[in-house]
Amino acid sequence: MNYNSLQQQVPNKLITDIAKAIDGEFTAIQCYDVLSKQAPNKEIRDRILEIRSDEMRHFQIFSQIYFSLTRTKYTPKMNANCPTNYRSGILHAFKDEQETVDFYHDIAREANNPFIQQQFMQVSLDEQNHAVWFLYFMNQN
Ligand SMILES: [Fe+2]
Ligand SMILES: [Fe+2]
């Protein structure tokens, strides 16, 4: 991967969207930690932790892209409170993953840079996969 050639003239909207994406990953990392502890069994808990490690990878990728574009390290912040119980956590996660797929497609479209486009398209495939898992958990019990 080459992050060094990304710095050109970058639209502000792209920067703020990537920052928003970083906040989303950051929030998911915290909330999936909470959710994994509320999981009803080991199978689901392990799956949530696997999803969480994907989010950590996404967080790294996006943070590096942000740095390449701005030469500044972004300080992430929570964009929402984590849901308080397992059922609402699963429902919230499902919706959030689905919305994130669309959002990352939008970023890929506006990026106008093949490397960034490719990263966001690839990550959005992970999010689609996560959404399917959360839908499956919703339909259990
Ligand atoms: Fe993610
Ligand atoms: Fe995800």
CA of 123 to the centre of ligand 1 (A): 7
Report if residue 52 sits inside a domain: yes
Distance between CA atoms of residues 75 and 89, nearest Å: 25
Report if residue 64 sits inside a domain: yes
Q: What is the pLDDT of residue 4?
A: 58
Picking from 62, 1, 3, 71, the residue whose alpha carbon sits closest to that of residue 27 is 62
What's the full length of the chain, in residues?
141
Distances in whole angstroms, Cα of residue 31 to Cα of each of 15, 56, 75? 24, 12, 18
Report if residue 16 sits inside a domain: yes
Which residue segment(s) compose the domain that 15 sits in? 11-138
pLDDT tens track of the chain, all 141 residues? 456 555 567 789 999 999 999 999 999 999 999 999 999 999 999 999 999 999 999 999 999 999 999 999 999 999 999 999 999 999 999 999 999 999 999 999 999 899 999 999 999 999 999 999 999 999 986
Report if residue 1 sits inside a domain: no
Neighbours of ion ligand 1 (CB under 5 A): 25, 55, 58
- Amino acid 59 reads F
CA of 88 to the centre of ligand 2 (A): 16
CA of 75 to the centre of ligand 2 (A): 20
* Overall pTM surpassing 0.75 (yes/no): yes
Report if residue 71 sits inside a domain: yes
Instruction: Name the strand (E) or helix (H) holding 75.
Output: none
Picking from 50, 33, 55, 45, the residue whose alpha carbon sits closest to that of residue 100 is 55
Q: In total, how many domains does the chain have?
A: 1
Report if residue 104 sits inside a domain: yes
Report if residue 4 sits inside a domain: no
CA of 24 to the centre of ligand 1 (A): 8
Residue 86, domain CATH: 1.20.1260.10
Report if residue 6 sits inside a domain: no
